[in-house]
């Protein structure tokens, strides 16, 4: 009798373990299928015009009389301001920095040759404006200042014009939506090729927005770019 009971118990345990293994196996398969995913990237790009410009205009003057040199620099700054106002730029958008004067005699070491001019002065007039097209037009007429005797600095690195785009928040939602749609289109193509279908989003990462010049010759045209990374579930 005990042997029969043990046999029945053993068969019951065996069948129970078998059933449990079957259930766990099916569950593992389902979980594995559920976790099938594809990760894709969606791109959105825009070309926009700069809406702010910073334009530094640097000019120099040399002389041996310090007081006279300051007077000449003041006259030159007035000429630059008058030129800008004539071109349609508001006075409030024009900032005139104080001149910086260098005494070459004070910097000279030893008994070297005396410079022709003891003093050199450098001054910068900076335009901060939202009138980008108007400023660009004025930049093309800089020869007019040269005809008035101004020596405008050609140091493009230190006094480079800076064009900026400040309207990113206005176009962000549309660009994120476009990047998401493009990512889903890529995922759907992948799913179609693998006889699957795209499910819900598992996780998504929005990339950083970048704003760069379209090229070196048109810095007033900006390229705005964002890449979103999205992972979708796949189902048969």
Span 207-223, average pLDDT: 94
132-161 pLDDT, tens digit per residue, is 999 999 999 999 999 998 888 866 678 899
Q: State how far the Cα of 105 lies from the Cα of 111, in Å rounded to an integer.
A: 11
Give residue 27's pLDDT. Answer: 37
Q: Is the pLDDT of residue 7 over 60?
A: no
Identify whether 72 is part of a domain.
yes
State the total domains in the chain: 2
- DSSP class of 97: P
219 SS3 class = coil
The residue from 164, 180, 200 where one domain ends is 164
Span 198-224, average pLDDT: 92
Collect all residues with Cβ–Cβ distance below 8 Å to 77 and sequence separation of at least 6: 96, 123, 125
Contact status, residue 69 vs residue 120, Cβ threshold 8 Å: no
Identify whether 19 is part of a domain.
no
Which domain range does residue 140 map to?
Answer: 52-164
55-106 pLDDT, tens digit per residue, is 999 999 999 999 999 999 999 999 999 999 999 999 999 999 999 999 988 7
Give residue 111's pLDDT. Answer: 58
Give residue 26's pLDDT. Answer: 47
19-66 pLDDT, tens digit per residue, is 545 444 443 334 445 568 889 999 999 999 999 999 999 999 999 999
Are 81 and 149 in a shared domain? Answer: yes
- DSSP E strands, the chain: 37-49, 52-63, 94-96, 100-103, 119-129, 151-152, 162-164, 197-206, 210-213, 221-235
Are 103 and 170 in a shared domain? Answer: no
The residue from 132, 164, 196 where one domain ends is 164
Are 180 and 156 in a shared domain? Answer: no
């Amino acid at each position: 009798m005990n042997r029969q009971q043990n046999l029945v118990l053993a068969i019951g345990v065996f069948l129970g373990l078998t059933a449990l293994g079957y259930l766990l196996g099916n569950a593992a398969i389902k979980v594995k299928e559920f976790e099938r995913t594809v990760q894709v990237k969606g791109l959105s790009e825009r070309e926009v015009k700069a809406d702010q410009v910073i334009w530094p205009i640097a000019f120099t003057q040399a002389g041996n009389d310090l007081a006279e040199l300051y007077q000449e620099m003041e006259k030159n700054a007035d000429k630059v301001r008058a030129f800008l106002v004539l071109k349609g730029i508001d006075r409030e958008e024009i900032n005139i920095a104080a001149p910086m004067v260098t005494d070459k005699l004070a910097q000279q070491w030893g008994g070297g040759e005396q410079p022709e001019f003891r003093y050199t002065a450098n001054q910068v007039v900076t335009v901060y404006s939202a009138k980008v097209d108007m400023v660009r037009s004025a930049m093309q007429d800089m020869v007019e200042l040269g005809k008035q005797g101004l020596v405008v600095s050609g140091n493009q690195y230190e006094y480079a014009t800076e064009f900026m785009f400040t309207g990113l928040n206005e176009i962000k939602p549309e660009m994120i939506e476009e990047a998401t749609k493009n990512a889903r289109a890529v995922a759907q193509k992948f799913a179609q090729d693998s006889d699957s279908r795209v499910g819900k989003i598992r996780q998504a990462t929005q990339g950083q927005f970048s704003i760069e010049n379209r090229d070196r010759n048109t810095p007033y045209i900006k390229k705005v770019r964002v890449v979103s990374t999205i992972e979708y579930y796949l189902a048969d």
